[in-house]
Amino acid sequence: FKWWAMWFVHGEEWFTRRVDRLDMLRRHFLAKVEESPTLHLAAIPTGLNVLFYALPQQLLAEDGTPDLSTTESRAKVAYASQAARRLLLEQGKWMINYQETHGVAAPCFRMVFLNSALTTSDM
């Protein structure tokens, strides 16, 4: 409803510019994830969402992707992501959503691009 209200109040041109900017930020962040040796996509990005894991090398399969083949490996992935989130929060570096998501093997980070005041340097 909020998106519709913003479109209704500000008009289509403003709304289009806002969504295009948020999509540009999402694509920039997605490129950062793909370049990183420790960040790995958890699912194909949809809309303004990017689902990803932050994992050390030892939790990766031989092909460099997260090892999600067993219950034990999924638990290790979940633990590592929770620990990374906790560390980022404690250091005051980043507050990011962490959750179980339907269709994703283990809980992951979820970055949703809604704040148009965000800049690429914030990432």
Rounded average pLDDT over 90-107: 75
pTM for this prediction: 0.77
Q: Write out pLDDT tens, residues 1-58.
A: 677 888 788 888 988 999 999 999 999 999 999 999 888 898 899 999 999 888 888 8
> Taking the domains of the chain in order of start, what are their residue ranges?
2-122
- Which overall architecture, per CATH, does domain 2-122 show? Alpha-Beta Complex (3.90)
**CA–CA gap between residue 87 and residue 105 (Å, rounded):** 23
Q: Write out pLDDT tens, residues 58-80.
A: 888 888 888 888 888 888 888 88
